[in-house]
Amino acid sequence: MGRRRIKINQPIIAIEQLRKVYRVGDQKVIALSNISLQIARGEICCILGTSGSGKSTLLNMMAGLEKPTRGRILIRGHDIAKMNERQLARFRQKYIGFIFQSYNLLPTLTALENVSLPLTFRGINRKARDKQALKMLQAVGLKKHREHKPSQMSGGQQQRVGIARAFVSNPPVVFADEPTGNLDSKTSTEVMELIVAMAHSKQQTLVIVTHDATVAAYADRIVRILDGNIERIENNPGNEVNMQ
């Protein structure tokens, strides 16, 4: 990857003193203790940690899937913890794309239909959304598979469809949850290079959650999570990260 200047003083995501406590019977389980973090516009940030470290909880908080016990998460200046479910759904449709470990494709839909789904929710007419979805399938090398259903594609191909779906509406932020978790090493490399290239091309912010240090190496910054806290933050020497 070439050198890029990332200005952290222009955050698109701001996490402030985030805490999440679960009650299990009479016990309190602290999933996140006190997380504060800023993620810049156009940055590729990796949340790296082992199972049980709190990284998945942090992603769920950023995606608005769970409410914090304390603290705030601001995305483009919007406090997502204060939104109701309808507001959150609209916010995600407009500003956020998702890439999942298990692909989460609808089995009865073709590749083209799966990719165009986010555009359907935006009320875009079929001709326009099919045109955009086909363009994205071409970008991920799957134009010839547009009529294939998930059962007719390999895991790597399904993940490429998932990537096309995440980027089709050009969201400012894309969350990737263990995006290579079900892939072999060769396919993992191809998928990560594709995700990063697509994020770079339009200066989109990409937040990757993983336990895999190989995946983390693609990020501008690596945020290591341990026992619900940020253990340390590392800059990728291949990019120039301006912390001012």
pLDDT digits (tens, 9 = 90+) for 201-224: 989 999 999 999 999 999 999 999
Residue-wise pLDDT for 183-203, tens only, equals 999 999 999 999 999 999 989
- CATH fold of 5-106+159-242 reads Rossmann fold (3.40.50)
Strand partners, 221: 45, 235
What are the sequence ranges of the domains in the chain? 5-106+159-242
> Whole-model pTM?
0.90
Round the average pLDDT of the chain to a whole number and report it.
91
Region 237-241 average pLDDT: 59
Q: What is the pLDDT confidence band of residue 238, given thresholds at 50, 70 and 90? A: low
| Alpha carbon separation from 98 to 62, 73, 162, 244 (Å, rounded) | 12, 18, 8, 29
pLDDT above 50: residue 244: no
User: How far is 27 from 236, CA to CA, in rounded Å?
Assistant: 39
Contacts of 11 (CB under 8 A, 6+ apart): 38, 39, 40, 41, 74
